[in-house]
């Protein structure tokens, strides 16, 4: 399988060559040349374990790693030991257990990994793939990133102790929850460097961009990224749509719907790809919070990214996104994989503008991709958390609540609705207390993590101070 850029200006590449990079050199995102068709495999895949299923799917997309090595990577990544924080410990073997709220209305638990958010599902695989490819090539990488919470901790837990990898993770000083800070800063591994920046998330993000734009520094210190546009992350997420499908159906003839709390369009993009591969998904329900850029697109055909000043700070913070970086992948498919059209549309977006597909050929084609959407407010979130707790005895986090709220608006009789559960409530304790008047449930292994010693360097929001830290540790 070769990978091409959504903007058409890059040579087709093998998987291992795009794994360690971010954007394609022409500014586009990588996608496989075609989507393997698997409708005929569904019944034979039904009984597979998560690791076996991951191997079947990934081996269609990764053709430059020997199959026995890829199998070993899948087996090592998807173990019940790593994804052990399930509501029902007896279900940990499932890796992504299904919990039913009522008939044909289910949660797919994706947040049972080491950082209690769904990003572990892909990031743990990325850690093992990075280590494998770097070992083969005898190369090193210094991952530089900025985080407002979930991404940074998932990256650190995936890369801790790995050969040839260091992580430099910037976070805004004092702006993450105490639990999130404790998760990241209590890591004592020699290859993990936490850097708290005196400023906001955007200041941290700007520093990462400035360092990455310094071509000489970037090459000299082998700076890399693990951000959400990385193809391997999207690919890894395709697997759980299949697993969720098998859990909620009895035969490969049945259809299901998925509801996905969305920010950067990474998670739901994987659902789109699963559907393109032939998984019978009747609807992909996209849920946003108050930052409703994507909901607006699927309702009106107008894509109007906001600037950071227009982005709301909400109680589902991992969805506070003004510009959905993976959205370009879907548009590439929608416009018939015509890179010239994508280039033209993103000329507007990259210049701070918007585009409309409301009239013309693509508006007519849009419904055939199965997307519907809706948005949620803080009050909706509180009401949904309360309702699910009172009626089902199940505690959900704020992002999952956005998914449940919008899923309810798009239910169709006799079609199972599967809501992707993207984080555990303990990460967002303040809103849980507001909704339920009590502390969130805390998985046993996380008792008292706020009291562990923390390792973090605090710096001013300047590029030079961050570069100094990288130079000092390399
Ligand atoms: C990252 C994240 C999201 C958004 O996922 P995207 O892939 O960016 O759409 C939703 N919920 C939680 C808890 C997250 O960490």
Helix (H, G, I), strand (E, B) or coil at 4: strand
Tokens of 397: 């986090």
Q: What is the pLDDT of residue 10?
A: 87
Q: What is the pLDDT of residue 213?
A: 85
pLDDT along the chain (474 residues), means of 10: 96 94 88 98 97 98 98 98 93 96 97 96 97 95 90 96 95 88 95 94 88 91 89 97 98 96 96 98 98 96 89 90 91 98 95 93 94 98 98 98 98 97 95 97 92 96 96 94
**Cβ–Cβ < 8 Å for 396, 404:** yes
Q: What is the pLDDT of residue 253?
A: 93
Beta strand 30-32 pairing with 98-102? unpaired
Alpha helices (H) in 253-351, listed in sequence order: 266-276, 293-300, 327-334, 339-350
> CB of 122 closer than 6 A to ligand 1?
no
Angle at 325 between CA 324 and CA 331, to 5 degrees: 85
Residue 439 alpha carbon to ligand 1 centre in Å? 23
Indicate the top mutation candidate among 29, 107, 119 to test ligand 1's pocket, ranked by most ligand atoms within 8 A of CB: 119
Residue 473's Cβ-count burial label (10 Å; 0-12, 13-18, 19+) is middle
Q: Which atom of ligand 1 is nearest to the CA of 400?
A: 11
Q: What is the pLDDT of residue 468?
A: 96
Q: What is the pLDDT of residue 260?
A: 98
Tokens of 278: 């032939």
Residue 451 alpha carbon to ligand 1 centre in Å? 27
Tokens of 332: 């590439």
Helix (H, G, I), strand (E, B) or coil at 430: helix
Q: What is the pLDDT of residue 77?
A: 98
Q: Which atom of ligand 1 is nearest to the CA of 321?
A: 8
Beta strand 3-5 pairing with 30-32? antiparallel
Q: What is the pLDDT of residue 369?
A: 98
Catalytic status, residue 119 = yes
> CB of 96 closer than 6 A to ligand 1?
no
> CB of 318 closer than 6 A to ligand 1?
yes
89-115+232-436 maps to which CATH number? Answer: 3.40.50.1100
Exactly one of 119, 162, 243, 405 is catalytic; name it. 119
Residue 261 alpha carbon to ligand 1 centre in Å? 7
Q: How far apart are CA 256 and CA 281, in angstroms?
A: 5
Residue 1 alpha carbon to ligand 1 centre in Å? 28
> CB of 263 closer than 6 A to ligand 1?
yes
Indicate the top mutation candidate among 109, 266, 298, 420 to test ligand 1's pocket, ranked by most ligand atoms within 8 A of CB: 266
Q: What Å distances lie between residue 208 and 169, 170, 461, 462, CA to CA?
A: 9, 8, 11, 10
Beta strand 371-375 pairing with 141-146? unpaired
Q: What is the pLDDT of residue 201?
A: 83
Query: Which of 56, 35, 33 has the alpha carbon at shortest distance from 44?
Result: 56
Residue 307 alpha carbon to ligand 1 centre in Å? 19
3-state secondary structure 44-93: HHCCCCHHHHHHHHHHHHCCCCCHHHHHHHHHHHCCCCCCCCCCCHHHHH
């Amino acid at each position: 399988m070769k990978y091409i850029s959504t903007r058409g200006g890059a040579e087709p590449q093998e998987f291992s060559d795009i794994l360690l990079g971010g954007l394609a050199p022409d500014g586009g995102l990588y996608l496989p040349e075609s989507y393997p068709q698997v409708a005929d495999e569904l019944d034979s895949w039904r009984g597979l374990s998560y690791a076996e299923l991951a191997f079947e799917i990934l081996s269609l997309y990764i053709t430059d790693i020997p199959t026995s090595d890829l199998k070993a990577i899948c087996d090592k990544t998807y173990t019940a030991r790593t994804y052990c924080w399930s509501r029902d410990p007896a279900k940990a073997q499932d890796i992504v257990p299904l919990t039913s709220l009522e008939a044909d209305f289910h949660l797919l638990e994706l947040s049972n990994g080491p950082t209690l958010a769904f990003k572990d599902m892909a990031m743990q695989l990325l850690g093992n793939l990075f280590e494998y490819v770097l070992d083969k090539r005898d190369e090193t990488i210094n991952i530089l990133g900025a985080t407002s919470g979930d991404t940074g901790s998932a990256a650190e837990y995936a890369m801790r102790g790995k050969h040839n990898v260091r992580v430099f993770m910037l976070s805004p000083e004092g702006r993450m929850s105490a639990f999130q800070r404790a998760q990241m800063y209590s890591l004592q591994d020699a290859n993990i460097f936490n850097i708290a920046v005196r400023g906001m998330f955007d200041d941290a993000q700007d520093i990462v961009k400035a360092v990455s734009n310094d071509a000489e520094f970037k090459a000299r210190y082998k700076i890399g990224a693990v951000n959400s546009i990385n193809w391997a992350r999207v690919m890894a997420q395709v697997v759980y749509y299949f697993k969720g499908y098998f859990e909620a159906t009895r035969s490969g003839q049945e259809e299901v719907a998925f509801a996905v709390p969305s920010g950067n369009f990474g998670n739901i993009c994987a659902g789109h790809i699963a559907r393109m591969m032939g998984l019978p998904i009747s609807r992909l329900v996209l849920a946003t919070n108050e930052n409703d850029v994507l909901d607006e697109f699927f309702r009106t055909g107008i894509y109007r990214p906001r600037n950071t000043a227009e982005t709301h700070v909400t109680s589902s913070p991992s969805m506070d996104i003004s510009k959905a970086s993976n959205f370009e992948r879907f548009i590439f498919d929608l416009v018939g994989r015509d890179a010239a059209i994508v280039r033209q549309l993103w000329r507007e977006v990259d210049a701070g503008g918007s585009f409309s597909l409301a009239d013309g050929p693509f508006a007519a084609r849009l419904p055939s991709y199965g997307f519907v959407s809706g948005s949620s407010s803080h009050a909706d979130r509180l009401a949904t958390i309360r309702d699910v707790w009172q009626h089902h005895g199940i505690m959900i986090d704020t992002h999952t609540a956005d998914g449940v709220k919008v899923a309810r608006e798009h239910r169709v009789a006799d079609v199972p609705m599967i809501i992707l559960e993207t984080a555990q409530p303990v990460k967002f304790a303040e809103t849980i207390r507001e909704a339920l008047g009590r502390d969130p449930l805390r998985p046993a292994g996380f008792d008292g993590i706020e009291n562990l010693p923390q390792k973090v360097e605090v710096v001013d929001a300047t590029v030079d101070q961050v570069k100094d830290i990288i130079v000092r540790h390399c």
